[in-house]
Structure 1
């Protein structure tokens, strides 16, 4: 009888334990808190990614049953760590990753699909620009969503235009004419530094106005050449700017960061840069504006092309699907992140919206940021799908940088510049 009592007690204890395990779901702890491990590409998220950190903080306030465990590492270490974790199938629940590696993880079947999330949140789907979705989709499956938008173009110093009686250009002819006036008055038209060859963002958008995205697939397939007539014409326009004295005399020995200082010092009319330099420019006191760059009469297709492209994606581990509570928490986080509240938090911290959601900006506090967002929402303008250098192998992207700065420096003719890239395309086959 005593043995039976002990056995009955043991069975009751086991049943209570099992019931307790089944009631919480997944990794929820005793307090009913579901934890999301979120790995990001900076060592100190609070200092280095304040907008993102504040968004996560607000999400946790509104969802006290969810804890977001931020795991921050410097980008190179972060990427290496994610690759190592993927080998043992122990990826973080949510993580930032470089585009090429993200595609590899998708091909390896290690990511949770986000089609259901997109389908169940039509307001988010409808608010996201098309390229924000298509960039991280394959075979009809959404495998990632952009961490942030990447916005690039030309900042300009309004005071210098007014001082020298120059109107903000619209066409390449206008820009060449403006360059001649600025040159005569000892002002650099476009601050640039060839020591950092990647610093050609606005010039890559100009390339899109010569039909880059209509041609690049055929070029990579060997059906068309990079040194085609349209692209050579594009390089000829850069050469016209060089001949008009548009670039710094020391462009070949100057870095991008020195070019930024040149603009901040009031010595250049334009700066080829992006959203990340807005705080510096606003703090400098310069009355600045933002411009998408010139249109071209001999360009190909739509000339009203902007550059609001997806940054590296956020991905979800396939393992999250195995934990109902965790999956629900992750999808709730994404709904907040890409919804109106998340977008507004990012905007308040000077991260441009990747959606068409209406946002509130303190223009008195952040005048340049307000102008940039206004440009993003210009009617009749369409963003290029991505940066031209990001849709080809790295070696070809580097050749594109070299070709552009080669013309700016006067070391390549337009024909030679286009051939430099074609030679690199041929090498990759």
Structure 2
């Protein structure tokens, strides 16, 4: 009887343990702390993503019952790791991922639905531009939120414009006139490096001013062609800039990074770049003279010409399994509320990451003049961002063909008619 009693006690103990393991309630540490495993795309977040790291640091200080366990790997290794973990259904609680892979995980039903979080936080919902939410929303399910905004355009050296008595352009005609003056004085108008074909950010925004987002879905569906009259006009404008001497003579052999140095050295009036170069520009000799511009409007363009480029970067995702764990889910949603709220936004701004919301932020202009000018452009009345970067809404092979077509005209190897055909031919192979 005693042996039976001992055996029964063991069975009950094992059953209790198994029930605990299968429970949806999180097993927290003895001190009541809930841990969130957060996988990020850099090996050392503190040094490589200081703005993000400081937001996490402050969040933990204000929420001592939540521990954020950062798991850092360089981007290529990180993406590979997440894909492998998804195959065994062992995704981290929260993680950064490339947009295409995020969409695949959503289609595989492996992500937490964040729609309730958005609906329960109307202040955050109202502060985010539509494209920040729509990009990672599928059939009404909010499966991701942008890690940071991605801001691209043209930096300009105002000192050079003043020196040669050229006004800061607004229209394409203004830009053409400025190019003539700079060419006569041995100054490159727009620093670019064709060796890095992806470096066409401002030129992609210009393509949006010729109706790209009104056409691209039909183009990919085969109901419209990339080889159309509006897009040919766009490439003709690039060709006109080339003929006027807007680009350096060694643009075909120059890298993007060499183009940056050309601009910083005062040899170019403008640089096609984005928010990631702000600190480098501010620390340079020309920093105090640099402004930021969304690029020219076009008289023969299609639709609204006041198009900026404030688009969502790769998303942050939460695993579906984490969402099934009550304590983890509450901790994750609390983290997101802090991250996308006013306090998280201000911490980002203090570390020179532009706001992805319309929350009021404070910027020390004396310390960060270029950053202040970039944020001022983001807040211009009457301007609306393109939904995304044109190259980020098509398959990679088509994006590469777009880069090739733009630099092909800049280099003089393609006519405008040949450039649109390059992209159309690639689209036909992907259908």
* TM-score > 0.5 by shorter chain: yes
Of 415, 419, 422, the match for 2:421: 419
Q: Distance in 1 between matches of 2:21 and 2:101?
A: 36
Q: Distance in 2 between matches of 1:266 and 1:27?
A: 59
Shift of 1:227: 1.0
Q: Distance in 1 between matches of 2:406 and 2:192?
A: 12
Q: What SS does the aligned partner of 1:190 have?
A: strand
Structure 2 residue 405 is the aligned partner of structure 1 residue 373: no
Shift of 1:4: 11
Shift of 1:7: 10
Of 385, 388, 392, the match for 1:386: 388
Shift of 1:89: 0.4
Shift of 1:427: 1.1
CA offset digits 1:296-332 (Å, max 9, x no partner): 0000000000000000000000001221111000000
Structure 2 residue 296 is the aligned partner of structure 1 residue 294: yes
Aligned residues of 1:27 and 1:326 also touching (Cα < 8 A): no
**Superposition RMSD in Å:** 2.2
Structure 2 residue 359 is the aligned partner of structure 1 residue 342: no
Q: What SS does the aligned partner of 2:39 have?
A: strand
Structure 1 unpaired stretches of 5+: none
Q: Distance in 2 between matches of 1:325 and 1:66?
A: 10
Q: Distance in 2 between matches of 1:12 and 1:230?
A: 75
Q: Distance in 2 between matches of 1:17 and 1:169?
A: 71
Shift of 1:285: 3.0
Q: Distance in 2 between matches of 1:290 and 1:298?
A: 24
Q: Distance in 1 between matches of 2:210 and 2:422?
A: 18
Q: What SS does the aligned partner of 1:295 have?
A: coil
Q: How many residues align?
A: 429
> Any residues of structure 2 matched to 1:39-78 within 5 Å, and which?
39-78=39-78
Shift of 1:22: 11
Q: Distance in 2 between matches of 1:106 and 1:418?
A: 33
Aligned residues of 2:24 and 2:326 also touching (Cα < 8 A): no
1:319: which partner in 2? 321
2:360: which partner in 1? 358
> Any residues of structure 2 matched to 1:214-233 within 5 Å, and which?
214-233=214-233
Residues 63, 425 of structure 1: alpha-carbon distance in 2 compared, 3 angstrom cutoff: same
Shift of 1:5: 10
CA offset digits 1:203-238 (Å, max 9, x no partner): 000000000000001111111110100000000000
Q: Distance in 2 between matches of 1:400 and 1:10?
A: 67
> Any residues of structure 2 matched to 1:27-426 within 5 Å, and which?
27-286=27-286, 287-426=289-428
CA offset digits 1:364-416 (Å, max 9, x no partner): 10011001001101110000000000100111100000000011011111111
Shift of 1:23: 12
**TM-score between both structures, scaled by the size of structure 1:** 0.96
Residues 62, 181 of structure 1: alpha-carbon distance in 2 compared, 3 angstrom cutoff: same
Aligned residues of 2:24 and 2:325 also touching (Cα < 8 A): no
**TM-score between both structures, scaled by the size of structure 2:** 0.95
Which runs of structure 1 show a deviation greater than 6 angstroms over 4 or more consecutive aligned residues?
Answer: 1-24
Aligned residues of 1:94 and 1:316 also touching (Cα < 8 A): yes
Q: What SS does the aligned partner of 1:360 have?
A: coil
Structure 2 unpaired stretches of 5+: none
Q: Distance in 1 between matches of 2:417 and 2:267?
A: 32
Shift of 1:28: 1.0
Q: What SS does the aligned partner of 1:284 have?
A: coil
Q: Distance in 2 between matches of 1:426 and 1:318?
A: 37
Q: Distance in 2 between matches of 1:10 and 1:426?
A: 67
Aligned residues of 1:24 and 1:32 also touching (Cα < 8 A): no
